[in-house]
């Protein structure tokens, strides 16, 4: 049997295999952002399906940072008790779970928060008024501490680690992209300056949770738009993290869906052939040739053959998937049992379209559900 099914270390914890459920907004928190029994059961089902590591949907770290309805929150100690129930449900099924911590920046939904969105710079919409205002330096410093507090709450709730969301056009990703960051202070300009908030956030988290609690990062391989975060900058930033910050793994994804200016990948939907899988494979190859931090690769992986090749050829250390686990929570168990057919997921994104309309996160076309 392939090494992909063997136990593997991530920081100081051991995963049952190299499969990761990529962070996916579930829409199952209550209106205040508390975890619910329904969400805990959803996570437990993934653990029972033999997913090696489960990463939750993005949990917002500050009230003005909410992006979606029924999104997890972690900005106050009042959320710890229900998060503890979620982590406990996964541990009952002998799984591991990380909390993804995030802030939507100027993409926050003021209809949900009732608060003014913030970001690295004031972003103008169609009219004369900005949809967000630029953060002050003091607010940036406070935000780094807010991320640290959120990580500490995850630790207190019994999670096995945290993932910082630094991709897909949310706050940290906005600081990294010149298109959205035209400040005139030490948080803009060079990549080192644009990365400053991320680096300070990691240091703040480490100061609060200690050096042994796993901390991983999600960033874009590139943004896929002009004046966006580029592949060469991703590699440079990863090298900087390799030298200066203790992160236990980096997950690379890609793209930014804001107002249609970017794209997530060369292939976005439809049943894929093996040659179309692993959208960010080339980025992963370059990453692994230069950087020692373990790599999680997400994006369009649908077959055990491709997943195994990525691991055995040294292009990735862990395989992340999102939509296939919506379709088949027990996909890993199926593959491990000898049924090696590709994931039944049709990659049509109907699950997310329905979720945006207020439906539950579930597969609407897969016959296995």
User: Look-up: residue for tokens 């803009």?
Assistant: 188
Reduced to 3 states (helix: H, G, I; strand: E, B; else coil), residue 172 is helix
Is residue 363 included in any domain, yes or no?
Answer: no
Residue 361 lies in a domain: no
In a domain, 362, yes or no: no
Catalytic residues: 170
Is residue 114 pLDDT above 60, yes or no?
yes
240, with CB counted inside 10 A (0-12, 13-18, 19+), is middle
How far, in whole angstroms, is CA 312 from its chain's centroid? Answer: 24
pLDDT digits (tens, 9 = 90+) for 231-287: 999 999 999 999 988 899 999 999 876 655 544 444 444 555 556 789 999 999 999
Q: Supply the pTM of this predicted model.
A: 0.93
Q: Which two tokens stand for residue 288?
A: 């692994």
Q: What is the CATH number of the domain that holds 264?
A: 3.20.20.70
What is residue 365's predicted lDDT score, i.e. its pLDDT?
66
Strands of 118-119's sheet, edge to edge?
118-119, 130-134, 123-124
Number of domains in the chain: 1
Query: Smallest Cα–Cα separation from 311: which of 20, 57, 96?
Result: 20
Task: Write out pLDDT tens, residues 70-94.
Answer: 999 999 999 999 999 999 999 999 9
Residue 40 domain-assigned (yes or no): yes
B/e letters for 157-166, b = 16+ CB within 10 Å, e = fewer, are bbbbbbbbbb
Note whether residue 220 is domain-resident.
yes
Neighbouring residues of 337: CB distance < 8 A, sequence distance ≥ 6: none
Residues 129-149: tens digit of each pLDDT:
678 999 999 999 999 999 999
Give the whole-number percent of the chain exceeding pLDDT 70. 88
User: Rounded to the nearest 5°, which phi and psi values hold at 336?
Assistant: -65, -30
- Tell me what the mean pLDDT of segment 182-194 comes to: 96
Q: Are 111 and 121 in contact (CB under 8 A)?
A: no
What pLDDT score does 269 carry? 47
Beta-sheet pairing, 118-119 with 123-124: unpaired
**Pairwise pLDDT comparison (51 vs 269), residue with the higher score:** 51
364 in a domain, yes or no?
no
State residue 266's pLDDT score.
45
Considering the domain boundaries, does residue 365 fall inside one? no
Whether residue 158 has pLDDT greater than 90: yes
**91 within a domain of the structure (yes/no):** yes
Least confident range from 82-86, 168-172, 191-195, 262-266: namely 262-266
In this structure, the number of other CB atoms found within 10 A of the CB of residue 184 comes to 8
Sign of CA dihedral 246, 214, 2, 349: negative
Domain that holds residue 265: 3-356
- Average pLDDT over the chain, rounded to whole? 91
């Amino acid at each position: 049997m392939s090494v992909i099914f063997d136990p593997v270390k991530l920081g100081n914890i051991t995963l049952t295999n190299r499969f990761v459920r990529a962070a996916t907004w579930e829409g199952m928190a209550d209106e205040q952002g508390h975890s619910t029994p329904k969400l805990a059961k959803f996570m437990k089902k993934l653990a029972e399906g033999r997913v090696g590591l489960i990463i939750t949907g993005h949990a917002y770290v500050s009230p003005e940072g909410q992006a979606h309805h029924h999104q997890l929150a972690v900005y106050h100690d009042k959320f710890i008790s229900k998060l503890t129930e979620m982590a406990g449900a996964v541990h009952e099924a002998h799984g591991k779970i990380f909390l993804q911590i995030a802030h939507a920046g100027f993409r926050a939904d003021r209809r949900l928060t009732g608060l003014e969105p913030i970001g690295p710079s004031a972003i103008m919409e169609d009219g004369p008024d900005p949809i967000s205002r630029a953060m002050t330096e003091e607010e940036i410093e406070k935000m780094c501490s807010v991320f640290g507090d959120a990580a500490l709450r995850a630790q207190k709730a019994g999670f096995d680690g945290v993932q910082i969301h630094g991709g897909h056009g949310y706050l940290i990703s906005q600081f990294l992209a010149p298109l959205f960051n035209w400040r005139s202070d030490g948080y803009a300009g060079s990549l080192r300056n644009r990365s400053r908030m991320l680096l300070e956030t990691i240091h703040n988290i480490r100061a609060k949770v200690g050096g042994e609690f796993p901390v991983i990062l999600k960033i874009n391989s590139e943004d896929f738009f002009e004046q966006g975060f580029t592949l060469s900058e991703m590699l440079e930033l990863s090298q900087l993290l390799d030298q200066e910050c203790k992160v236990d793994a980096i997950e690379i994804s890609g793209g930014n869906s804001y107002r249609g200016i970017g794209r997530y990948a060369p292939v976005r939907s439809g049943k894929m052939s093996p040659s179309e899988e692993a959208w960010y494979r080339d980025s992963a190859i370059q990453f692994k040739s230069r950087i020692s931090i373990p790599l999680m690769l997400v994006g369009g992986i649908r077959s055990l053959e491709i997943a195994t090749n990525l691991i055995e050829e040294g292009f990735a250390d862990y395989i992340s998937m999102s939509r296939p686990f919506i379709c088949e929570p027990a996909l890993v168990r199926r593959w491990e049992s000898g049924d090696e057919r590709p994931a039944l997921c049709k990659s049509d994104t109907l699950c997310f379209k329905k979720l945006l309309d207020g439906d539950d996160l579930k597969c609407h076309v897969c016959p296995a559900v």
